[in-house]
Structure 1
Amino acid sequence: MIKERIETGVYQPGDQLPSVLKIQEEFGVATATGQKVLHQLRKDGLSYTEPGMGTFVKQRSPGEAHP
C-alpha cells in the first residue's frame, strides 16, 4: 500500500513516510513487518533514510520508470 501511494503521488518526493509504529497501527502488522516494508522501499530505490529524522520519498530522475 505504501509503495502504491508513492507511485500514485499520494506521497511526493521529500515527503516523510510513516514510521514503523505508524505502519503497525495503520495496517495491523508486526514490528518486523513494518521494518521490512521500509527496507524494501529503500531497496527498490523509492525512499531514503535520514538517521534520527525518518524515511523519506526519494526524488526520481526525469524519465525514470516506476519499478
Structure 2
Amino acid sequence: MADIIRRRIADGTYPPRTRVPSVLQLQAEFGIAAATGQKVHRALRDEGLIYTEPGLGSFVARTDD
C-alpha cells in the first residue's frame, strides 16, 4: 500500500499539501487491518513524504522546499 501512495504522490494524484487517505480510508480501499494502515502512514512520514496535523489528518509534504 505504501508503494501505491508513493506513486500517487509522485504522479500528482495527491499534490503537495493535500490530504492523503486516512487509516480508515486505506482499510476501506485496500481491505487491510488498521495496524497495516498505521504502518503505511508511519513509513511515509519517516520518509518525509507526508506529515500529520493532529485532529486534521495527514497531508503530502512540500517537495520544493
Q: TM-score, normalised by structure 1?
A: 0.88
Alignment length (residue pairs)? 62
Q: 1:44 matched to which residue of 2?
A: 47
Q: Mark the structure with the bigger radius of gyration.
A: 1
Root mean square deviation, CA, Å: 0.9
Q: Distance in 1 between matches of 2:45 and 2:63?
A: 13
Q: In proportion to residue count, which structure has more helix?
A: 2
Deviations 1:4-57 (A, max 9, x none): 100111100010011100000001110000000011110011000000100000
Q: 1:35 matched to which residue of 2?
A: 38
Q: TM-score, normalised by structure 2?
A: 0.90
Q: Percent identity?
A: 53
Q: 1:22 matched to which residue of 2?
A: 25
Which runs of structure 1 show a deviation greater than 2 angstroms over 4 or more consecutive aligned residues? none
How many Å apart are 1:61 and its aligned residue?
2.6
Q: Which amino acid aligns with 2:49?
A: L
